[in-house]
Amino acid sequence: MPPMKVVLITGASSGFGMLVAERLLAEGHAVYAAARRVERMAPLAAKGAHLLAMDVTDAASVEAGVAQVLAEQGRIDVLFNNAGYGSYGAVECVPMEEVRRQYEVNVFGVGRLIQAVVPHMRARRQGVVINTSSVVGQISMPMLGWYASTKHAVEALSDALRMELGPLGIDVVVIEPGPVRTEFEATAFATFARVAHPEEYRARAAAFERFSHAMYAKAPGPESTADAVMKAIHARRPRARYATTWMAAVLPRVRRWLGDRLFDWAMLGRLK
């Protein structure tokens, strides 16, 4: 049994976050599960998790949650930045209010947790920061522009952070899943349905929805992504990136091999 770690997980009310929390609890670690909807984490509480009502878009909420963990445990060994959501639509059509909301959760939320937790890791010269990105942190496609841009931002942020913190004994890891069967798809397409696309985009938007639903219907569950997170937590020297599904492993290589024009042609060909 590995030594007990204190782990803070955001977005722990479903999907990867909940599954990783369950696995860590089974190993005897101190797990602080954070989400806006605390009631949805009742199964984790029953297994021994400490629940935090945390909104990653609210600095006071983040600071209060981190302060509670430190007051009760004296340290945070692992920060798993997993809170995030998808919001689809053509770049010109997604309302800027929704764009800002997505950045607040997917990018600035990650930044708030990092700025709240890393000083304490730095003082101890040890820790692991794990940021959930996506295959679209490496590529993009029609109707995914804004969402992909948030994940590209997480990738760039993580690269800089890895180089800043590596010499201080702190590892930074990026988790890159492709389509996975969680609640993510339903949330993303609920926002997509509210986007008003003009006539010129409607056929492409409908094709994108069909294509995406077909991918998710064949997608794996969250287990392989949870496996990668657990490896990163327990590894003596974790990798910088873990692509957790075949699509996440293959598509960025295809993109580099084909180049811009051929990749665009291939993507557009799938969305007819």
Q: Which are the catalytic amino acids? A: 147
Torsion of Cα atoms, 44 then 46 then 49 then 54, to 10°: 60
Give the N- to C-terminal CA distance of the chain in Å, as an integer.
Answer: 52
Maximal C-alpha separation, the chain: 59
- Which residues, 6+ apart, have CB-to-CB distance to 224 below 8 Å? 177, 180, 244, 245
Q: Which tokens belong to 200?
A: 């010129």
Residues 250-263: b if buried by 16+ CB within 10 A, e if exposed: ebbeebeeeeeeeb
